[in-house]
Structure 1
Amino acid sequence: MLRWAIAFFVLAIIAGLLGFGGLQGDLAYIAKILVFVFLILFIVSLIFGRSGPPAV
């Protein structure tokens, strides 16, 4: 998911450099949403991923 966010961020930068302001805003917004979703899933996996005794 983080790769998708980085890809949309790079596309937003390219669109901004080429003068596509509306498209740049949309791509940056999608990238921001993906980063927040990634962070939430990462924190949840850190909290709930370590439950239980370690495997022997």
Structure 2
Amino acid sequence: MIVLGLVLLIAGWLLNIGILVTIGWIVLAIGLILLILGALNRPILAGRRYWY
């Protein structure tokens, strides 16, 4: 998600499309939050502990 956010940011700046920049920032922020939560070994979105 971080890479997708960066691609959208760069494309938005190069093409001068504001909505792409906004979506890029949002996707980048979500990707960084998930990265931090994963590094802290926290369960994300209350998933199941075991899948059968």
**TM over 0.5: same fold?**
yes
Choose which of 13, 20, 42 in structure 2 pairs with 1:23.
20
Does residue 43 (structure 1) correspond to residue 40 (structure 2)? The answer is: yes
Runs of 4+ aligned structure 1 residues displaced above 6 Å come to none
Percent identity of the aligned residues?
19
RMSD (CA atoms): 1.6
CA distance in 2, matches of 1:19, 1:9: 15
* Structure 1 residues without counterparts, runs of 5 or longer: 46-56
More helix by share: 1
Three-state SS of the structure 2 residue aligned to 1:44 is: coil
Higher relative contact order (CA 8 A, sep 6+): 1
TM-score by length of 2: 0.61
Structure number, greater radius of gyration:
1
CA distance in 1, matches of 2:23, 2:5: 9
Does residue 5 (structure 1) correspond to residue 2 (structure 2)? The answer is: yes
TM-score by length of 1: 0.58
